[in-house]
Structure 1
Amino acid sequence: MRVAALVLLLPPAARAETTIRIATYAAPLSRDGPGLLLRDILSGEDPQITAILGVIDHVAPDVLVLTDIDYDAGGAALAALSDRLQHPYPYRFTAAPNAGRQTGLDVDGNGRTGEARDALGYGRFFGDGGMAVLSRYPIDATKVRDLTPTLWRDVPGAVLPTLDGAPFPSQQVLDVLPVSSASHWIVPVEIGGVTLSLLAFSATSPVFDGPEDFNGLRNRDELRLWEAVLDGAMGPVPERPILIGNANVEPFDGDGLRDGIAEVLARPDLQDPAPRSEGGEQAANPDHHGDPALDTADWSDDGPGNLRVSYVLPARALTVVDAGVFWPAPDDPAAGLLGDDQRAAGPHHLVWVDLRQPAP
């Protein structure tokens, strides 16, 4: 077993006091309608939620970004989820996403309105598959910078979709559509007198479109928004930034504009801890080019195969102590948390990075 796997078994109290575990998890905490997630959490009988809770308890992040959790205005589902953990999180943050917020326009160009694809971001209802942050350290919600409303056309270097030389689906849509399909937040977390800034987001899938490449271009520009933030083109550069969330694209395999994430990974102001797992390595797709140990999603039964789509990319100035993906090998005792088929908690795996607490 790798050293990373051994460290992963340690609860928060057993880790070094100066180490902070930052994680992101695209856990499938979205349901078919509003209120159903809260119902399933409170019931205590949903096997998928039980598996997700087991993974979070096992990895025990100090700060966790969830990128597929239904939003409700009171944060009731998020609070209920936290309360079911062995060690509930004292600090929580969520805000309204673009997902499911209807536009009244034909966003996908199929001649109809009011469908899931006609929202500001894909969603069957308002808040479908939103985002949230759980933390053991204080979050000052008054200092959160919410870039979720940023118009796609206003992103520096944005490439808007066209079809046969005309704006797609229409100029009217492109005049009001934000680049963020769910949420883009800059969340300050205060740790021992030092601020870490989570650049948290959940990008659209780069597929399910046509020759105009609407989703592929939007996915690319959701990353380009963060590049603009880090370059100082969207206001002050955040303190000690950590780019974190589900980019839904990787640099070697799968669909999407791979150059976007490749450029982000190559930025000199960020570092890639390259979190790995034994499970991903053993489940390698023989036709893929990337390192399978870095994969974070298991779509081996259908779709594009296993891909690296979730990332935790700390600022270069921060010190990385360890990193990993919770994807145990089948013979690892921890694999039982993921069920007999290793997928009880969904296709995505939790990604974590341990940082040395920076001095004030």
Structure 2
Amino acid sequence: MRRTTLLGAGLATVLAAVPLATLAPAQADRADRDGHGPGTRETVRFSTFNASLNRATAGGLAADLSTPDADTGAVRQAHKVAETIQRTRPDVLLVNEFDFDPEAVDLFRDNFLGVGHGDARPIAYPYAYVAPSNTGIPSGHDLNNNGSVGGGDDAFGFGLFPGQYGMVVYSRYPIDTDAVRTFQTFRWADMPGALLPDDPSTDAPADWYSPAELEDVRLSSKSHWDVPIEIGDETVHFLVSHPTPPTFDGPEDRNGLRNHDEIRFWADYVAPRAGRAAYVYDDEGRYGGLARGASFVIAGDQNADPADGDSVDSAIDQLLRHPRVRDPRPTSAGGAEAVDQGGANLGHEGDPALDTADFADGAPGNLRVDYVLPSKGTKVVGSGIFWPIDADPLYRLTGDYDPSRWPFTGVPTSDHRQVWVDLRY
């Protein structure tokens, strides 16, 4: 995620968790599955997309999505995001950087995803889940230690209003909303062996945050959700999050360390040894991790590359090398081609075909930060990253960073690419 300066942001009241679910899909939609959809022994496409559907002020996203015919940069960007999703046609989709607003969830579904774009057909998601995010919620503490309290850096997660940079799950399959677990309020200090940041100006260890602050500081910069998806007779736990970028801090590396532990949370949650997740508690006060043998898919913009970038060493390896996690290693021709952007990309160790984000060429360069990771034992039948090569007509949906062409965001849609994995159940 690129953090940009946003002007005119205000604070909005945080709403209670609002799971959105509707009745079963219409018969016409069931027939339009591209090989995916409800049934037995079916292929299900899981996907994650940091779509940059964040806005500068509370309510701004809903305002844009309520006027789909407006000729503005914000609305054009939302249409390109929708077209990208229509062309990849996932069955279960996590959208990161979608400002928390239940109204916006329906507006995007109805006015954008539900309307065709050229030869990209509409796509219907009869089920969705959204809940509050820690972003922009004032902590009441001076968390960046700059001598004053207030602003995005002092929120529980960076944001200029509650819910900025939130997330939403869309699904063609039923969501068991009664069984959803959220971990928004889990305290960072309650994780055994947490990598709490240290103030380098003192001799005391791990003292960036005061004891009073550690009573309140939350682990998740947005939230962590366990969203059960009902696929035939099987329940697949969609484990979604969006850890903080490991930058925008100082020598204490508070964001890098938090990113590591946000990733670690899922590694512990799905660990085969039950005791490893005994410390975990959800927002309802229930303890423990995922049941042994349960199927899951971990998804989201993890803001960590296994070989390059600024994350703490081995942060994402906690998942990629986990005994219960499978890495399908999706690739794209566009990512491989983009190494010719030069700069930091020329010195990277990782395979550029695996990259999922087109970041600044000077630093950190393009990185693999977005993941869809199923549980081991799940049959993987396909995977990919939506990153067309320059000569592809669909390159217009990704492009290269160029504010002169796309003044709203600098890119047509997002600096992240949509990632998908096809799984057989």
Aligned residues: 345
SS of the residue corresponding to residue 92 of structure 1 reads strand
Following superposition, the deviation at residue 147 of structure 1 comes to 1.4
After superposition, where does 1:142-157 map in structure 2 within 5 Å? 142-157=178-193
Give 5+ residue unaligned stretches, structure 1: 1-10
Following superposition, the deviation at residue 141 of structure 1 comes to 1.3
Following superposition, the deviation at residue 340 of structure 1 comes to 7.7
Distance 1:212 1:256 in 2: 13
Distance 1:325 1:55 in 2: 11
Alignment counterpart, residue 290 of structure 2, candidates 237, 241, 251:
237
| Residue pair 1:158, 1:224 contacting (<8 A) in 2 also | no
Alignment counterpart, residue 122 of structure 1, candidates 148, 153, 158:
158
* RMSD of aligned residue pairs (Cα, Å): 1.6
Which of the pair has more CA radius of gyration? Answer: 2
* Change beyond 3 A, Cα 1:220–1:195: same
Following superposition, the deviation at residue 145 of structure 1 comes to 0.8
* Change beyond 3 A, Cα 1:79–1:331: same
Report the counterpart of residue 162 of structure 1 in structure 2: 198
Report the counterpart of residue 371 of structure 2 in structure 1: 311
Bigger shift: residues 38-47 or 176-185: 38-47
Alignment counterpart, residue 82 of structure 1, candidates 109, 115, 123:
109
Distance 1:329 1:203 in 2: 29
Give 5+ residue unaligned stretches, structure 2: 1-30, 114-121, 281-287, 340-344, 403-410
The superposition leaves residues 125-145 of structure 1 with CA deviations (integer Å, 9 ceiling, x where unpaired) of 000111110000001111111
Report the counterpart of residue 221 of structure 2 in structure 1: 181
Following superposition, the deviation at residue 303 of structure 1 comes to 3.5
Report the counterpart of residue 140 of structure 2 in structure 1: 104
Distance 2:399 2:310 in 1: 29
Distance 2:401 2:246 in 1: 27
* Change beyond 3 A, Cα 1:130–1:344: same
* Change beyond 3 A, Cα 1:194–1:260: same
Alignment counterpart, residue 357 of structure 2, candidates 275, 297, 300:
297
* Change beyond 3 A, Cα 1:89–1:264: same
Bigger shift: residues 12-21 or 48-57: 12-21
The superposition leaves residues 167-221 of structure 1 with CA deviations (integer Å, 9 ceiling, x where unpaired) of 1132221221111000101110001011000110000010111111110110000
* Change beyond 3 A, Cα 1:224–1:339: closer
The superposition leaves residues 5-30 of structure 1 with CA deviations (integer Å, 9 ceiling, x where unpaired) of xxxxxx96232561100000001011
The superposition leaves residues 83-122 of structure 1 with CA deviations (integer Å, 9 ceiling, x where unpaired) of 1211231001010111111111111111111211111111
| Residue pair 1:156, 1:228 contacting (<8 A) in 2 also | no
Structure 1 residue 43 corresponds to structure 2 residue 79:
no
TM-score between the two structures when normalised by the length of structure 1: 0.92
Following superposition, the deviation at residue 223 of structure 1 comes to 0.9
Report the counterpart of residue 316 of structure 2 in structure 1: 261
Report the counterpart of residue 30 of structure 1 in structure 2: 54
Structure 1 residue 344 corresponds to structure 2 residue 412:
yes
